[in-house]
Amino acid sequence: MNETPSLPTPRPYTLRDLPLAARLTLALFLLSVGLGYVAALVQLHFQHAAPGAILPSGEDAVRIFHGDVGDKQMSKLEQLLPEDFKDKKMTGQGQMTSAFYKRAEDYDDTIGEKATELAKKRGKKSATKEIKQEAKSEVDKERDGERLVMIAWVRGGAKEEEYNEDKYLLPDELAKHAFTRKYLVVEGDKPVAPLAAKIQTLFKERCATCHMDGGEGQKYPLTTYAEIKKYTVVKKSSGMSLEKLAQTTHVHLLGFSMLYGLTGLILAFSSYPRFLRVLLCPLPLLAQVADISFWWLARLEPPHGPSFAQAITVSGGLVAVGLLSHIVLSLFNLFRWKGWLVLLILFASAGYAGYVVKTNAIDPQLAAEKAPDPAAK
């Protein structure tokens, strides 16, 4: 009896078997994802990296997700108004003190007016370099007084009636501190006794100009008492708020999971060895789950919380490595040697362009960030 001949095992269907149009579409998709990830890293730098650093360090991760270790309990507003702010960016996780100094629209004009006033008192036609420096020092002391008054009002309970009446009686220690005259409550042309600050006006001119519709900080409005009040509540941790953490988790788990899932599926249909595909295809997804878990675990009390926060840099690095492997390996598997040549030229051009951008834009930007802030005291 004749045996039926066995049929040959069909060759697995891989990326190279797709029509050219499909392969080009997938290639452009992978390149777009790569560019999008680079853009996300740029945003990460501006949001959370220390001045002069390209990306956040382990210490930055601790500060962001756990909070500054050793900090006393304080409200969000007080956290954002540190005295020494030259090494912190003006963000919701950094500081807002510079809004009283160089970031204030009237800062340079006020110094100029003060210098002119001092020059006249000393019988000089124009302000000398020394007089300008003295004027800046006096204005800085007054701006520091504004900052201290705002903190004192918050610590005193942030009373609604004081805000609505635009009148906050200054504590004795602040009554003797330099303070911007236009924010003092006056009767006629003289400040009232005891001294009182126009607390609502102070918030509107130092905070609301940015934290209003159309402003740089419009996502976090500070135009009414109700909007300000929620930032005056004392928090247990100076790290990212639960509200923002939940929002960030939602965006990453839904948005980035779709991207990593698609890039992983593309690599899964490549012709690389099975063990390599099994290892690399799910890597960014697994690393992202671990990464986001560390965000939440970082809120634990020391020493565990800071340790989990430090681990975020490792899990984030694994996400980057996994996504890079998806993009590069899939691109080379989509084409044969002619396509490889195009890809090599493309990557070489991108590498050179990156070097030029780093030398002429990134390095000067990092150096400028690291340089002392002239507004800092």
Which residue would you say has higher pLDDT here, 49 or 226? Answer: 226
The string of DSSP letters for 92-105 reads TTS--GGGGTTTST
Overall average pLDDT of the 331-356 stretch: 84
Helix (H) or strand (E) holding 9: none
Report, as an integer, the average pLDDT of 223-252.
83
* Cα dihedral 362/365/366/372 (nearest 10): 170
Q: Which ranges constitute the DSSP H helices of the chain?
A: 20-48, 58-61, 76-79, 107-121, 129-155, 160-165, 172-175, 199-203, 225-229, 242-251, 257-268, 274-280, 283-297, 304-334, 337-357, 363-370
pLDDT greater than 80 at residue 89 = no
Strand 168-169 versus strand 186-187 pairing type: unpaired
What number of CA atoms fall less than 13 Å from residue 291's CA on the CB side?
21
Does residue 214 have a pLDDT over 80?
A: yes
Residue 102 has pLDDT above 90, yes or no: no
Q: What is the DSSP string of 132-154?
A: HHHHHHHHHHHHHHHHHHHHHHH
Question: 8 pLDDT exceeds 70?
Answer: no
pLDDT, tens digit (0-9, with 9 covering 90-100), for 294-313: 999 998 887 888 899 999 99
Q: What is the pLDDT of residue 377?
A: 44
Question: For position 355, what pLDDT does the model report?
Answer: 84
pLDDT (tens digit per residue) in 258-285:
999 999 999 999 989 999 999 999 999 9
pLDDT band at 374 (very low <50, low <70, confident <90, very high): very low
For residue range 15-45, what is the model confidence (pLDDT) as tens digits? 888 898 998 999 999 999 999 999 999 888 8
More confident residue, 312 or 354: 312
Place of tokens 């009414």: 224
- Between CA 319 and CA 263 the distance in angstroms is 12
pLDDT in tens, 319-342: 999 999 999 999 999 888 877 788
pLDDT at residue 288 in the model? 95
> What would the pLDDT profile of 149-188 be if each residue is shown by its tens digit?
999 999 899 999 999 999 999 998 898 899 999 999 988 8
User: In this predicted structure, what is the pLDDT of residue 4?
Assistant: 62
For 244, the token pair is 């923002």
Q: Which amino acid is at 4?
A: T
The C-alpha atoms of residue 115 and residue 154 are separated, in whole angstroms, by 33
At 99, is the pLDDT very low, low, confident or very high (cuts 50, 70, 90)? confident
Query: In whole angstroms, what is the distance from residue 180 CA to residue 168 CA?
Result: 14
Better-scored residue on pLDDT, 319 or 76: 319
Average pLDDT, the chain: 86
Cis omega (within 30 of 0) for bond into 221: no
The answer to whether residues 298 and 316 touch, using CB atoms and an 8 Å cutoff, is no
Q: Which two tokens stand for residue 30?
A: 């992978």
So what's the pLDDT on residue 87?
A: 62
For residues 334-363, give the mean pLDDT: 83
Quick one: pLDDT at residue 375? 44
Decide if 189 contacts 160 (C-beta within 8 A): no
Mean pLDDT, range 218-242, rounded to an integer: 82
- What Cα–Cα distance (Å) separates residue 356 from each residue in 41, 361, 362? 18, 8, 9
Residues 365 and 369: their CA atoms lie apart, in Å, by: 6
When pLDDT is cut at 50, 70 and 90, the band that residue 235 belongs to is: low
Q: What are phi and psi of 5, to 5 degrees?
A: -65, 140
Helix or strand run (H / E) with residue 186 = strand 186-187
CB atoms near residue 149 (< 10 Å): 24
Q: For the chain, what percent of residues have pLDDT higher than 70? A: 91
CA 130 to chain CA centroid, Å, is 37
Residues 298 and 62 sit within 8 Å (Cβ to Cβ): yes
Q: Quick check: 31 and 324 in contact, CB under 8 A? A: no
